[in-house]
Amino acid sequence: MNAKSVGSAHLATICVDEVAIAANVRTLRSAVGSGVAMMSVVKADGYGHGMGSAARAARAGGAEWLGVATLDEALELRRTGDTGRALCWLAEPGADFGSVIAAGVDVTASSTSQLREIADACSGGVVGRVQLKVNTGLSRNGAPEAQWADFFALAKSLQDQGSIIVTGLWSHFACADEPDHPANEQQELVFRTAISHAEAIGLEPEFKHIANSAATLWRPSARFDLVRCGISIYGLSPNPQIASSRDLGLTPAMTVKATVVNAMDLPKGAGVSYGHTFVTEHPTRVALVPMGYAEGIPRHASNQAQVWLNGQRADLLGLVCMDQIVAAAPRAQIGDDVIVFGPGDHGEPTADEWAAWCQTINYEIVTRIGGRAKRVVMTPRVQEGS
């Protein structure tokens, strides 16, 4: 593998394995079978992995579509060099849809007013590629059922006028990571009703989709024409209590590393970090690791989490600071390598474990990591003579 980074030497790095992301996409595509398109979601800077890296790797793995949340993310995706099918879905009232439509990105309409804004942004013969979002029970965004008649009728009218073309109809599950939750069946039924209403009015969207990573894996009936995989392409399970990454054949793509910048021997009774929430019960050697909540280390990890140092787990002692954490490490020396979390192949903590220690989800752990840490992208090594 080759490593590419920008900038000088640094104290903390986020190592992103593009090969793992591509392999995860291939694994997921194999799981859903033929006839179903794959959208890899690269919003939020690729869930902390880097949008450009995630997009490039997802395309290499066979993703026909990429997904982002905001219009700015859609334009950033194009600036990375991606030219394939892409969808964005979140915009404020009065947003400038024109530049995104001109960039060939499908935009989402969640209301009649947003549909009109999108149509108004189409000029000079440019036809907006629009996907219609309906609320089926998440109660977050999308047209509610009471508005479907007007929503679909307007979309059909604008399409007939040549302002837009409706390329998709979609929604989003609330509880797909709990496969037995009754809301899943109800939402799927409502979505099928929405499809029937749209078709009855004369709309024939190319893609109907509602499945996120969890539904892709655990609800085959909801795969329709396309599935949207986010957390799973980065090698993490949408619910580790049901199936781990390893169980699903996925490889976590992020490893967070740092370097010990100080090491000292503390006597019994020494307070560690702010507030002395940890006091040594015996002589203890500690290592200072230059990452803190400014780099996305959750403060909830204080006195809970572990890192990997000198071939063994090292407990975090005391409160997580803005720039630093302290770990118990009997053999620590300045300059030692530290793995905060990684795939777990060698015994190091995983993002799933950090999520459990912080009483959150793995999505938050990987997405919030950043700050002053530098991202290093691991790419396939180019063979000599190729």
Q: What's the confidence (pLDDT) of residue 11?
A: 85
Q: What's the confidence (pLDDT) of residue 9?
A: 52
Q: What's the confidence (pLDDT) of residue 268?
A: 98
Return d(Cα 71, Cα 74) in angstroms, integer.
Answer: 5
Q: Residues 136-185: pLDDT tens digits?
A: 999 999 999 999 999 999 999 999 999 999 999 999 999 999 999 999 99
Return d(Cα 207, Cα 190) in angstroms, integer.
Answer: 17
**Separation of CA 204 from chain center:** 30
Whether the pLDDT of residue 1 is over 70: the answer is no
- Do 283 and 355 meet the contact criterion of CB atoms below 8 Å apart? no
Question: What pTM does this model have?
Answer: 0.94
Q: Residues 187-212: pLDDT tens digits?
A: 999 999 999 999 999 999 999 999 99
Whether the pLDDT of residue 8 is over 80: the answer is no
- Do 273 and 319 meet the contact criterion of CB atoms below 8 Å apart? yes
Return d(Cα 99, Cα 183) in angstroms, integer.
Answer: 37
Kindly list the catalytic residues: 43, 274
3-state secondary structure of 69: strand
Residue 379: pLDDT band (50, 70, 90) is confident
Q: Residues 43-96: pLDDT tens digits?
A: 999 999 999 999 999 999 999 999 999 999 999 999 999 999 999 999 999 999
Whether the pLDDT of residue 5 is over 80: the answer is no
Q: What's the confidence (pLDDT) of residue 6?
A: 36
Q: Residues 237-254: pLDDT tens digits?
A: 999 999 999 999 999 999
- Cross-strand pairs, 201: none
Residue 44 CB partners (closer than 8 Å, separation 6+): 69, 367
- Do 369 and 295 meet the contact criterion of CB atoms below 8 Å apart? yes
Residue 125: pLDDT band (50, 70, 90) is confident
* Region of 296 on the Ramachandran plot (φ > 0 left; ψ -120 to 50 alpha; else beta): left
Q: What's the confidence (pLDDT) of residue 302?
A: 98
Whether the pLDDT of residue 383 is over 60: the answer is no
| Dihedral sign from CA coordinates of 186, 131, 118, 148 | negative
